[in-house]
Structure 1
Amino acid sequence: MRAFILFSSLAMNALIAADSGAADAEAGKRKAETCVACHGPNGNSVSGNFPILAGQTARYLYLQLRDYKEGRRKDPNMTPLAEALSREDMFDLAEYFSRQKPAPLNFKPDPKRVTAGARIAADVLCTMCHLGQMKGQNEIPRLAGQQPDYVLKQLKDFKARTRTNDGGNMTSVTQTLSDEDMLNLTHYIGSLF
């Protein structure tokens, strides 16, 4: 069974990689015009209600759009928008936003919370998936430079199991975290860029 799951995962990754080779960032830029209203110019959201898309990996962005489209991830604003996207649209948008440079945040982390958050991140092994400095990789999101309010909401959603499109990893990790732990993690992550 494990071999089948590994093979299936590798096959899906190869298919995504092959398809994304045809992604067109310029077409993505044109298609992203409606995204600016929430996600900001070039994907640099200025509101904690919306994530920063700039600098995320194309693979992560594509998978999130696909999950919204297919109902594995739900949001009253994003789901209807994603449902209208073609596979090509999703690849183009993902490629465009992945090439944008994240802008610095206007966030002042509390030094005591940063220290506590760093300890929590080490305890729950955040860098095993999100890598050092929370830079992200492949289908694992970049957290450094992300809107702190958005990060906190996602942690709470994983804990409440209202967001479940992660294969269970974040759902499992967040079960061990208190609200205070999540707030401290948010300040730690908010101190990174």
Structure 2
Amino acid sequence: MKKLIAGVVLGVGLVAMAHGAGDSQAGEQNAAVCAGCHGQGGAKPIMGVYPKLSGLGEKYLYNQLVAIKEGERVIPEMTGLLGSMSDQDLQDLAAYFNEQDMVVSQADPKLADKGAALYRGGNMATGVPACAGCHNPRGNGNEPAGYPALGGQNAEYVTKQLKAYREGARSTGANAAIMMDVASKLTDAEIEAVSSYISGLN
């Protein structure tokens, strides 16, 4: 009997780990303040430089919220917004936004081929790895690793983040070193092309 109970407890624990620790219904209640910039459900930001939060991956979202709250990732527009939220509140927000559908944007047809080549194959000549290796060929990300889903993200936001990694302005988080290395090898034209491609990826 003890083995059975232990097995059930372990099973429930593994399911909780697999699906994250957040309660999306509770997260919805706290998400109202986010809608002003990121849109309802985090799917339609009011400006292209603001990220879509919908469907990015619960682990990634939670890690970013913690980094912002603790001041490791500085976003002036979010100053003080997370200060009164508990760790559980942040987990709930991450769960809520992760469950929302990503609204895919439209890639620039003129940049599609170049962007696709970079995303899927990288640039061997300059040592740029394929984005698809970490972020999935369809842009769905890698939840266990905490790599965000990129497909459909605003091109302007992706461009801003890649340049921030390249310049060292965004340097926090478990995967920052990887992204800083990748971005350091990208030209402005490559960033523009791959960002546009990502915006239409689904």
TM-score (norm 2): 0.80
Q: Corresponding residue for 2:30?
A: 31
Q: Corresponding residue for 1:68?
A: 68
Structure 1 segment 37-76 matched on structure 2, within 5 A: 37-46=36-45, 47-76=47-76
Given candidates 176, 181, 185, the residue that maps to 1:176 is: 185
**Regions of 4+ moved over 4 Å:** none
Deviations 1:98-129 (A, max 9, x none): 11112233x3x232311111222212221111
What is the Cα deviation at residue 132 of structure 1?
1.1
* Kept after mapping to 1: 8 A contact 2:135/2:142: yes
What is the Cα deviation at residue 85 of structure 1?
2.0
What is the Cα deviation at residue 20 of structure 1?
3.9
Given candidates 139, 148, 164, the residue that maps to 1:134 is: 139
Structure 1 segment 103-114 matched on structure 2, within 5 A: 103-105=103-105, 107=106, 109-114=107-112
Letter in 2 for 1:111: P
What is the Cα deviation at residue 18 of structure 1?
8.7
TM-score (norm 1): 0.84
- In terms of Rg, which structure is larger? 2
* Kept after mapping to 2: 8 A contact 1:51/1:150: yes
Q: Corresponding residue for 2:130?
A: 125
CA distance in structure 1 between the aligned counterparts of 2:176 and 2:114, rounded to whole angstroms: 27
Deviations 1:149-191 (A, max 9, x none): 1111011111011011233011000111111110011121122
* Kept after mapping to 1: 8 A contact 2:24/2:95: yes
Q: How many residues align?
A: 176
The structure carrying a bigger helix percent of its residues is 1
- CA RMSD, Structure 1 to Structure 2 (Å): 2.0
What is the Cα deviation at residue 19 of structure 1?
10
* Kept after mapping to 1: 8 A contact 2:158/2:195: yes
Tell me whether 40-49 or 88-97 shows the greater mean CA deviation. Answer: 40-49
Structure 1 segment 84-99 matched on structure 2, within 5 A: 84-99=84-99
Letter in 1 for 2:137: G
Q: Corresponding residue for 2:196?
A: 187
What is the Cα deviation at residue 60 of structure 1?
0.8
Unpaired segments ≥5 residues, structure 2? 1-13, 123-128
Q: Corresponding residue for 2:126?
A: none
User: Relative to structure 1, is the Cα distance of residues 53 and 113 closer, same or farther in structure 2, using a 3 angstrom cutoff?
Assistant: same
